[in-house]
Amino acid sequence: MKLAYILLGLIYMHPDLSGYEMKYIIEHSTGFFFKVHLSQIYPTLKHLTEKQWVTFEVIKQKGKPDMKLYTITETGKVELDACLTEPYHFEYNWENLNMYFSKLLLMGHLDTEDIIAYIDSGIKVITQITEEIRTGSFADIFQTKESFLSNIPPVEQKQYLTIWENEHRFICEEFERRLTLLETIKKELKD
């Protein structure tokens, strides 16, 4: 489960965190950039508690419901670190790429060499994919199959191609920029 590890990571960073605050942090930080529902966070925290990866303290409030402040346990920390240090196994989709960068956000507490090993696994895979896009195995469908659009009017074909070519170029450049980002972080961590 992805969310479980993100919550674990946040709880490590900031002990005594409530489920409500976790949602705010995930949604208001540029790094994560995804939506979570409280109705998904609460059962996940319950599950983490059952596994004894986290514990919580109940805080009574006036006029507001009780608040549960979560803290990571030793077992939880071991699990978190094990998940974070797994090298990057790439799949050709956004979700997987975003997950890689989300995990990077959560590993600031690890030894520098472990973070760099993780970054290196990312550099390796992204370099490989950039190559594959260029040499063809992941080439855009319009480049490999030019006849793909042959059954629709030429005016429409032209518009499709304009959009596809621009988006294709954007994605290729996106990979290169992600590589630069990783190299920059690596360099800064070394200092």
Measured distance CA(114)–CA(106) in Å, rounded: 13
By C-beta, is 59 or 152 nearer to its own copies? Answer: 152
Residue 71, beta-bridge partner list: 55
Residues in the chain: 191
Measured distance CA(37)–CA(104) in Å, rounded: 22
Burial of 20-54, coded b for 16+ CB within 10 Å and e otherwise, reads eebbebbeeeeebeeebeeeebeebbeebbeeebb
> Smallest distance, Å, CB 147 to its own copies?
9
Considering CB distances under 5 to 8 angstroms, the limit depending on partner class, which of DNA, its own copies, none binds residue 77?
Answer: none
| 43 belongs to the binding site for DNA (CB under 7 A) | yes
Identify the residue among 28, 50, 60, 63 touching DNA (CB under 7 A): 63
Binding mask 12-31 for its own copies (x = CB under 8 A): xxxx---------x-xxxxx
Closest CA to 104 of 91, 126, 120, 125: 120
55-63, 77-85, 120-128, 149-157 -> range binding its own copies (CB under 8 A): 149-157
| 48 belongs to the binding site for DNA (CB under 7 A) | no
Considering CB distances under 5 to 8 angstroms, the limit depending on partner class, which of DNA, its own copies, none binds residue 134?
Answer: none
Closest CA to 22 of 42, 43, 48: 42
Identify the residue among 67, 83, 105, 117 touching its own copies (CB under 8 A): 105
| 38 belongs to the binding site for DNA (CB under 7 A) | yes
